């Protein structure tokens, strides 16, 4: 019975809430009908421009029905004995303050100018020249992409690995150069170097070692013009290797230069002095030095007569000095140096200056027939 009574009471409560909701809805509808303006048929037929309503009024009118329905539902929940669920709180949108532009912020860098490149016409002309020059000779080359760095480079570089057919000469490590230099090296090795090696050393050259391309100025000085090495138009050769394994290099095989001979021919400025009262004292007399720069000091007793001429001639009578220029390596290096002047426009060796004392510089700079051979 108690349970039936609870069910009846609960149903009564629900019916009461439904009745209240229906009465409220009816009153709301009546209110809308009552407040509607009376419009005559003639006036209703004619279209009239609708007055512009403010956005706030539209929002208020749209919210009124939903607000009243929510109130009725809350009332029904209260009558039923249930606590109405609290309306969810929507967080207010966060508005970030405007950020002022930073004047010190890094600005985008200006677009750098593209590096200089060889034109298609220049590359095509250089390739045609290579085909024409390399066709008659035997040379192992590797074609490379056009080389350009600022004002350095060449449009059709090749990597030379070997040159020659009968007496093949390896280039190890390979050297980067242009095609005219390949042809000039082939001619020099075939016509000058190999005959000189067989005549003076008794064996042909089988390998050369050197350097070629380098984007730099003359003597690496900042105020000088570009070296021919910067255009792959020059090589530096310090050493040759023969078929029998011997090594011939400019640093040790050239011998004394003309500068050395001139410096060695000068008198040694030494004055002979003998202390008084010391018969065993030694004196040093000035003696003309030998061509290789050797200074001879002759020790004599104070009680003996000094014969300068005899003292100067004595070393020659005992140990005659050999002529360094008559050595086979010196003869070979001088012959290849002199022969290079018939092929290249610039030849600089140990006689040029101390910078080239250890190697032979060869290039094909356009000098209008005023070639340099030193």
Q: What is the pLDDT of residues 86-109, one digit of tens each?
A: 555 556 556 566 655 565 655 555
In this structure, the answer to whether residues 339 and 201 fall within a common structural domain is yes
* pLDDT value of position 115: 83
Please indicate, yes or no, whether residues 223 and 368 belong to a single structural domain of this protein: yes
How is residue 306 annotated by DSSP?
A: P
281 occurs within a structural domain: yes
pLDDT at residue 321 greater than cutoff 90: no
Please, which residues have CB within 8 angstroms of residue 79's CB and are 6 or more apart in sequence?
13, 16, 17, 20
With bands split at pLDDT 50, 70 and 90, how would you rate the model's confidence at 7?
very low
Which pLDDT does position 225 carry in this prediction? Answer: 96
- 265 or 336: which leads in pLDDT: 336
Compute CA distances 220 → 153, 182, 208, whole Å.
Answer: 17, 25, 24
| Mean pLDDT along residues 230-238 | 98
> Are 345 and 365 contacting, i.e. CB atoms less than 8 angstroms apart?
yes
- Provide the number of structural domains found in the chain: 2
Q: Residues 220, 276: one domain?
A: no
Residue 1 forms part of a structural domain: no
State the pLDDT confidence band at 69, using cuts at 50, 70 and 90.
low
Neighbours of 213 (CB within 10 A): 22
pLDDT for the residue numbered 334: 97
Say yes or no: 130 and 204 in one domain: yes
pLDDT score of 170 more than 60: yes
Average pLDDT, the chain: 75
Range of the domain at 171: 120-255+327-373
Average of per-residue pLDDT across 169-175: 97
pLDDT confidence bin for 133, thresholds 50/70/90:
very high
What confidence category does residue 138 fall into, taking pLDDT thresholds of 50, 70 and 90? Answer: very high
291 and 363 together in one domain: no
Query: Same domain, yes or no, for 235 and 349?
Result: yes
Residues 210 and 272 in one domain: no
**Is residue 331 located within the same domain as residue 282?**
no
Q: At 13, is the secondary structure helix, strand, or coil? A: helix
Per-range mean pLDDT, top range of 62-76, 283-297, 324-338 = 324-338
CA distances from 162 to 158, 169, 228, 233 (A): 12, 6, 22, 17
- Closest by CA position to 166, among listed 196, 190, 133: 190
pLDDT band at 369 (very low <50, low <70, confident <90, very high): confident
My answer on whether 292 and 226 are in the same domain is no
Separation between Cα atoms, residue 143 and residue 121, nearest integer Å: 18
Pairwise CA distance, residues 4 & 18, whole Å:
21
pLDDT at 246 (0 to 100): 98
With a pLDDT cut of 70, the percent of the chain lying above it is 55
Average pLDDT score over residue span 237-249: 98
């Amino acid at each position: 019975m108690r349970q039936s009574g609870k069910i009846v009471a609960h149903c009564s409560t629900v019916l009461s809430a439904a009745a209240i909701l229906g009465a409220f809805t009816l009153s709301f509808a009546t209110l809308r009908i009552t407040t509607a303006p009376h419009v005559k048929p003639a006036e209703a037929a004619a279209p009239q421009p609708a007055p512009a309503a403010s956005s706030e009024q539209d929002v208020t009118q749209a919210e009124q029905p939903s607000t009243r329905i929510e109130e009725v539902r809350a009332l029904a929940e209260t009558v039923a004995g249930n606590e109405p669920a609290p309306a969810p709180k929507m967080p207010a949108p966060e508005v970030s303050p405007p950020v002022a532009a930073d004047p010190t912020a890094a600005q985008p860098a200006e677009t750098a100018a593209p590096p200089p490149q060889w034109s298609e016409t220049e590359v095509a002309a250089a390739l045609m020249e290579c085909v024409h020059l390399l066709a008659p000779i035997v040379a192992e080359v590797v074609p490379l992409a056009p080389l350009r760095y600022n004002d350095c480079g060449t449009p059709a570089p090749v990597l030379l690995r070997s040159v020659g057919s009968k007496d093949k000469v390896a280039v190890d490590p390979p050297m980067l150069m242009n095609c005219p230099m390949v042809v000039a090296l082939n001619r020099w090795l075939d016509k000058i170097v190999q005959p000189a090696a067989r005549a003076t050393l008794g064996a042909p050259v089988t390998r050369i070692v050197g350097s070629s391309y380098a984007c730099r100025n003359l003597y690496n000085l900042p105020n000088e013009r570009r070296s021919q090495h910067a255009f792959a138009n020059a090589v530096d050769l310090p050493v040759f290797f023969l078929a029998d394994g011997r090594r011939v290099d400019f640093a040790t095989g050239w011998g004394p230069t003309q500068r050395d001979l001139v410096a060695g021919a000068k008198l040694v400025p030494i004055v002979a002095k003998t202390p008084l009262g010391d018969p065993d004292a030694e004196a040093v007399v000035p003696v003309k030095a030998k061509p290789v720069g050797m200074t001879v000091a002759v020790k004599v007793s104070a009680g003996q007569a000094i014969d300068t001429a005899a003292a100067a001639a004595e070393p020659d009578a005992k140990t005659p000095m050999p002529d360094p220029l008559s050595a086979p390596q010196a003869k070979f290096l001088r012959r290849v140096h002199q022969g290079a002047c018939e092929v290249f426009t610039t030849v600089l060796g140990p006689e040029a200056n101390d910078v080239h004392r250890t190697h032979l510089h060869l290039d094909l700079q356009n000098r209008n027939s005023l070639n340099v051979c030193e």
